[in-house]
Amino acid sequence: MKANILLVEDEMDLANVVKQYLEVMDFSVTWCKNGREALEHFKENSHAYHILLLDVSLPGMDGFELANEVLNYNEDVPFLFLTARSEKQDKIQGLKIGADDYVVKPFDIDELVLRIRNILKRRQGITPAQTTSNIIEFGDVKFYKDALKLQFENKKESMLTPREAELLQHLLQHQNQIVKREDILVQLWGSNDYFLGRSLDVFISRLRKHFANSALVSINNIYGVGFIFSIKED
């Protein structure tokens, strides 16, 4: 079955090229030219798409605003930002919203296809029945790895982004130990640079919000060194 993509891009030439190439690569693409049009369409088709490609600099409603609105109708849909802006703050903002990835214009179309396929590969086949052999239990939490889901003893649930899940698995491997920031960055993402360091802070902050539902799990800062992922005994 073809993956359905919602492309939101106001640059006509670029959108035509991206749409046609993705269709040649066996994707099904719906194209909206601005944020308002895309939001109205998505409201009626909130579970029809496997991934959204959102331009950041859209007229009227920008890509960040659109992403926030979209998540009100389907909080599980993955999205990737297309942006002509390479400012670190823009990237951080996108990650805070929950973006799975971003591509800076001008981009190589084959790189875009690869990033889309990587996101879909991480997300494919996610159903509760398929996750029973991929559950990690710790403290008062169940982590469904394939489904990117946390389930808490108080019956609340949280959905993780792929990078949040990747970071959580790393922390679980070093629970109740000091984990150095540079070790996380190099081992997970291959580089200890400024942008990735800021991204790590965003992911740690989001994991803390998830674990606010837990009475036994916490993530503590070790100033100037890194973090401790603490799991208390019940």
Digit-coded pLDDT (tens) for 129-168: 333 347 889 999 999 887 888 999 988 999 888 888 889 9
Spatial CA neighbour of 116 closest among 225, 232, 6, 215: 6
**How many Å apart are CA 13 and CA 21, to the nearest integer?**
12
The whole-angstrom separation of Cα 57 and Cα 61 is 8
- The CA–CA distances, whole Å, from 119 to 41, 51, 128, 183 equal 23, 8, 19, 24
Start-end ranges of CATH 1.10.10.10 in the chain?
A: 128-231
CATH 3.40.50.2300 residue ranges of the chain are 4-123
The CATH number of 128-231 is: 1.10.10.10
Query: Which amino acid appears at position 155 of this protein?
Result: K
For 4-123, CATH number?
A: 3.40.50.2300
pTM of the model: 0.56
Q: Given this model, what pLDDT does residue 132 score?
A: 39
